[in-house]
Amino acid sequence: MLRDRAAAMRGSLLFLVCVLFMCVMDETSACLIISEVNCDNPSLDTQEFVELYYEGTNPTSLDGYTLVFYNGNGDFAYRIIDLTGHQTDQRGYFLVGSSELTPRPAISLPPNLIQNGPDAIALYGPNWAPVLVNGQVSGVGLLDAVVYTSRKSAGGADGLASVLTPGSVPYVEDDKALEGDESIQRCWQSNNLWTYHTGPPTPGWVNHCPAPTPGLVWINEVDLGGPDKQGMVELNVGVASGTFSVVLYDISTDLISTSVELSVKQAGIFTVSVDTSRLSMQQSAGLAVYKGPASNFQKDGTLSPQQPIDAFVLSDTTNMPSDNLTEMLIPGRKPVIVSEGFQTSGFSSSRCGVAEWTRDPGLFVKRPPSHGKPNDCSWFQTCPRNITSYTSGSGRSQPSFHSSEDFLISEINTDSPGPAEDEEFIELWHPSGSRMFLDFIWLVMINGQTGEIYYELELNEYYTDEDGFFLIGSDNVGADITIPANTIQNGPDAIALYRSESPPSKQNQPIPRDGLLDAVVYRARGSDKKTAELTEALTPGQLPLLEDINASPGDESLSRCGTDRLNLSAYRVSAPTPRKQNGCPPEPTIAPGLDSVFINEVGRICAANQSLGRFFVELMGPPLINLQGFVLVFVKKGNKKFSVSLKMASMGKDGLYLVDNVFGADLRSVVLCFEASGSGVCESDSLETYRYDFKDEEKLCETNRLDSASRCASVTQNVSWIYSQATPRLPNLCPSPSFSTSLDLCIPSEEKNWKGNSGNCTRDDVAVELEKLCNCGISALHLQGVNVSCESGIMHAHGPAASISDHQREQVNEILKTKDLSCSAAQDQQVHGAGSSVGLQVGLMLIAVLLFGFGAAVFVYLYKRRRPADYLSMQMSEQPEMPLEL
């Protein structure tokens, strides 16, 4: 009872203070909110509750208000509670909960009634269309809602969130976060932004929100309207020690007005006096805390490029600070606007709320001074933003939030032409393509030289345009958040995107990884050796991108052409397109045919250890064609396969695409197939478009260097493969007439059964015989201009033979010389052999004639001895010879 009375008195006093100082306090609209939810207790769930809180005159009537409990499995209402006839207590609280709960709830519920999630609890105001039990989720008349889930059912509440809290992630109630029981508690964060925290249950009492502990040193309270032109800055120091400087900037000139040095040896609250006499407007200034002595921040010095540890900017309504000052000190945030009576009101700007990012003036509220003590913060400052009140001009409804979909880095321009570099930008995009809130999204820029964060930007309270785009950039790009020119470094650096309730820079790791959504690691020419730490942390196994300033005559950017997050191969160098569709290669209108995309070269990186088996595969096709649906399948010994999907890839402007670093010591073939479904896996019914088989694999590596098999076309348009030195992303080394050798060969061969018709040999036969002799990579493709014939075991080749290089041509000439295969030598051998054969034949004929004559003579002699001549014949033969007279 005493506790309740004390609390009531405290509430009354706070209300009286608010009334007395109404002229200087922020206007706060009275509203009813869902303050705390406990849906899952240990054991039997007898301590469940929903706590409402009303900021305004209490007690207040709840007539017309309704609580609706939604089931995330089907998105329907499973319980409806009409609050008509009830009212809040003196402190503004109202409890609906288990009957055994202490304090006793105004409306009692049976044990285990509130479901654990994925579910939602929504508060509706008067004049709304009531939802019935089992009715579908509705956003009409919605005032507030809590959408929650458990770790076991992540994503199950997305449908509820799309209607009740569009663009926000369902809160995960972690039943193991605390020992004992815990609840979901709403805590004020910054400006009109609220957040949730898990803490010990506080039914009917102020929520257990964590204290604002953003860093080692932070600005805790500011009063620049003190007497005698002396202002006061109160710093809260954690475990930090060393020398710090408090620097005051004049917002009309962006120059240093004064600086004060502070040496810290222990934790505590420290008050520093600052001279405000030189300020153009006493209640308008930029305030920053830096590491280092005050001598680094001389009076009238320019705005320091060093990132402050903490900063605070305030101004009046007529003298606003420059964008350069605010975006250097409090990037993405707005200054505190000081009312006319603030100087004499006796109030100071006190840090309240639970945000952990230091450089946020939205955390400061006007409160009575509390020098040297914890700030006198009121728990309730503003009503929660009604995030369902936005109506799209196009009438488009808010998109569903899916856990698998989140913000991406769409485009970056880190190096614009000219010394000013005032057209740099970073474009974010949500895959839904609709307006989405950027709550808990952080943009971080990391220096590749040091591995340290040099720029950190919180995007709470911002939202994308109707197409899902959000732009951070220099003055000339019309950005949603303007940053000073030349802020984005040219590289080697990284730009990373996080979803986190606290600054990524506060993680216990040099380069933050928790909550990482997307990242781009990029470099300038000659700086890729300095990106190893960035790539290992953010995009392991990938090469940093190069924003090539020579890619186009004007400006260029790195544009995302796919939705795979943390995949650098999704980016292309193109013309800048802020807030527009990226300049990506056009999508193919039809599925590519068999001959549109093919394997052009297969190479192997050879080493002493042949088992490494490191390959590359080069594809060729129409320039800039999207390779969505194409898959490379690598077949190993035993028909074992592994695949590489090309769904995020596109052909280069040269019509080539390289797949590098493929390992496979026992690789037997490479298959290119097309899967129309885009699944990234080639099934039995997929279209096989091209294949290369390792028929003579030992040729790739026999010289312990990088060798390849290259695709070359013949005059008949048939495809042939030749072995040559590798030419990745360069034209293949195919046989050329520029390196020709005149052949006139007669090659003897024991093989007479030619591959062609009987008695007809082919260029393949000649190539096989030549390759046996020279082992220099000769194929039929080299002999396209050679005429080939064969007869009696001799292949005759006559005509110009092409080579791929001078070296190969010399190899061919050398083998011709050493083997003496010219047809002139062969013909001499044939003529000599033919002469010997004719002489033998003549000799045999002469012998036959002589033998015949000798036989005839013997026959006549023997015949005459057996038959002597008669008398008349003898007389006639003995008469003398007489002259013939006429």
**SS3 track for 822-865:** EHHHHHHHHHHHHHHHHHHHHHHHHHHHHHHHHHHHHHHHHHHH
Residues 113, 137 within the same domain? yes
Residue 392 has pLDDT above 60, yes or no: no
Number of domains in the chain: 5
Q: For residue 241, tell me if it sits in a domain.
A: yes
Shared-domain flag, residues 565 and 511: yes
Token pair, residue 662, equals 């493929």
CA distance 509 to 490: 24
Structural domain ending residue among the three candidates 828, 850, 866: 828
The reported pLDDT for the residue numbered 877 is 37
Domain assignment present for 593: no
pLDDT tens-digit readout, 320-363: 888 888 878 887 778 888 765 555 556 788 888 776 667 888 88
- Sheet with 469-473, strands from edge to edge, namely 481-482, 469-473, 425-429, 408-413, 557-560, 571-574
- Out of 539, 574, 609, pick the residue that ends a domain: 574
Domain annotation covers residue 720: yes
Q: Residue 20: pLDDT above 70?
A: no
Alpha-carbon torsion angle 521, 526, 528, 529, nearest 10: -150
Predicted pLDDT at 884? 32
Q: Is the pLDDT of residue 107 over 90?
A: yes
Q: What's the confidence (pLDDT) of residue 28?
A: 43
The reply to whether 610 and 554 lie within a common domain is no
Q: Which two tokens stand for residue 8?
A: 């009531």
> Within this chain, do residues 549 and 609 fall inside the same structural domain, yes or no?
no
Residue-wise burial string across 802-820, b where 16 or more C-beta atoms lie within 10 A, e elsewhere: bbbbeebbebbeebbeeee
Percent pLDDT > 70 in the chain is 74
C-beta separation of 188 from 381 below 8 A: yes
CATH code assigned at 95:
2.60.40.1260
* Contact call for residues 245 and 259 (beta carbons, < 8 A): yes
Write down the pTM of the prediction: 0.50
What's the mean pLDDT in 198-203?
Answer: 91
Rg, Å, the chain Cα set: 46
Q: Measured between alpha carbons, how far is 54 from 50 in angstroms, rounded to an integer?
A: 13
C-alpha span between 90 and 34 (Å, rounded):
17
Task: pLDDT band for 415, please (50, 70, 90 cuts).
Answer: confident
Chosen domain end from 810, 828, 846: 828
Alpha-carbon distance of 110 to 771, in angstroms, equals 91
pLDDT, tens only, 443-459: 999 998 888 999 999 88
Contact 282, 333 (CB under 8 A): no
What integer is the mean pLDDT of 669-679? Answer: 76
Q: How confident is the model at residue 227 (pLDDT cuts 50, 70, 90)?
A: low
What is 210-243 written as a DSSP string?
PP---SSEEEEEEE---GGGEEEEEEEE-S--EE
Between residues 209 and 840, the one the model is more confident about: 209
The β-bridge partners of 560 are: 571
pLDDT at 689 > cutoff 50: yes
Residues 112, 44 within the same domain: yes
Q: Contact at 8 Å (CB) between 430 and 468?
A: yes
What's the pLDDT score for residue 246? 94
Q: Is the residue at 403 inside a domain?
A: no
Q: Which residue has the higher pLDDT, 657 or 501?
A: 657
Task: Report d(CA 154, CA 169) in Å as an integer.
Answer: 10
In a domain, 391, yes or no: no
Q: Strand, coil or helix: what is 270?
A: strand
Average pLDDT, the chain: 77
Same domain, 193 and 290: no
Domain hosting residue 432, numbered range: 408-574
Instruction: Note whether residue 544 is domain-resident.
Output: yes
Assess whether pLDDT exceeds 90 at residue 121: yes
User: Across residues 383-394, what is the average pLDDT?
Assistant: 40
Q: Write the pLDDT tens digit of every residue in 582-615.
A: 887 654 443 444 457 888 898 876 655 544 567 7
For residues 477 and 375, the model is more confident at 477
Average pLDDT over residues 8-22: 35
Which residue, among 681, 706, 709, has the nearest Cα to 693 in the 3D structure?
709
Can you say whether residue 74 is alpha, beta or left, with left for phi > 0 and alpha for psi between -120 and 50 degrees? left
Same domain, 721 and 754: no
Q: Do 97 and 172 fall within a single domain?
A: yes
Q: Is the domain of 230 the same as that of 189?
A: no
**Within a domain: 458:** yes
Nearest-angstrom CA–CA distance, 80 and 115: 13
**695/745 same-domain check:** no
Render pLDDT for 130-186 as a digit per residue (tens, 0 to 9): 788 999 998 888 888 999 987 776 667 878 887 888 767 788 877 666 777 889 998
Q: What is the pLDDT of residue 529?
A: 60
- Residue 153 is assigned to a structural domain of this protein: yes
- Look at residue 590 in the predicted model and tell me its pLDDT: 39
- pLDDT single digits (tens) 514-565: 889 999 999 876 655 667 888 889 998 888 888 766 656 678 889 998 888 8
Query: Residue 731: which residues within 8 A CB-CB, separation 6 or more?
Result: none
- Same-domain pairing of 465 and 500: yes
Asked whether residue 767 carries a pLDDT value surpassing 50, the answer given is yes
pLDDT band for position 759 (50/70/90)?
A: low
- Angle, vertex CA 213, rays to CA 211 and CA 216, nearest 5: 155
Q: Residue 406: which of 569, 518, 481 has the closest Cα?
A: 518
Q: Let me know whether 107 and 52 are in one domain.
A: yes
